[in-house]
């Protein structure tokens, strides 16, 4: 079955620790994205990558970092510099760029205390 996997579903961390969220896709999509969703809110773009070894900052990149060393993988690191990291994180991919529909993973709910 083709799709996007995110792990883990729930993640708990202590303040001051970096944490990496996993995102893998087997859809052979070129583009991948990370969004943050806060309760009752819409989606905000953190980072995106249109091609391997290249990525761009989204609207709220501060305190986050990514890598895109493989087409299938786009991990997101939430660093200790992120002021309010507790949120629901969604990863998505599309065949190419913004014109095409995005397919989303199940999300990771991160809680930092």
What residues line the site for another protein (CB under 8 A)? Answer: 41-43, 45, 48, 50, 58, 88, 90, 92, 97-107, 109
Per the document, the length of the chain is 113
* Radius of gyration (C-alpha) of the chain in whole angstroms: 13
Cβ distance to another protein smaller for residue 8 or 106: 106
| CB of 80 vs another protein, minimal distance in Å | 25
* Minimum distance, C-beta of residue 42 to another protein, in the bound complex (Å): 4
* Of residues 23, 20, 36, 11, the one with CA closest to residue 88: 36
Phi, psi of 106 (to 5 degrees): -75, -10
Residue number, 63 or 107, with CB nearest to another protein: 107
Side-chain half-sphere exposure of 23, counting CA atoms within 13 A: 31
Choose between 80 and 104: whose C-beta lies nearer to another protein.
Answer: 104
């Amino acid at each position: 079955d083709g799709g996007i996997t995110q792990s883990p579903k729930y993640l708990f961390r202590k303040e001051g620790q970096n944490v990496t969220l996993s995102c893998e896709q087997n859809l052979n999509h070129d583009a991948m994205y990370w969004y943050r969703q806060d309760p009752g809110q819409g989606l905000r773009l953190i980072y995106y990558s249109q091609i391997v070894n290249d990525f761009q900052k989204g609207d709220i990149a501060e305190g986050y970092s990514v890598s895109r060393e493989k087409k299938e993988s786009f991990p997101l690191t939430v660093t200790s510099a992120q002021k309010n990291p507790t949120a629901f994180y969604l990863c998505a991919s599309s065949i190419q760029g913004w014109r095409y529909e995005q397919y989303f993973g199940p999300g990771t709910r991160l809680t930092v205390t």
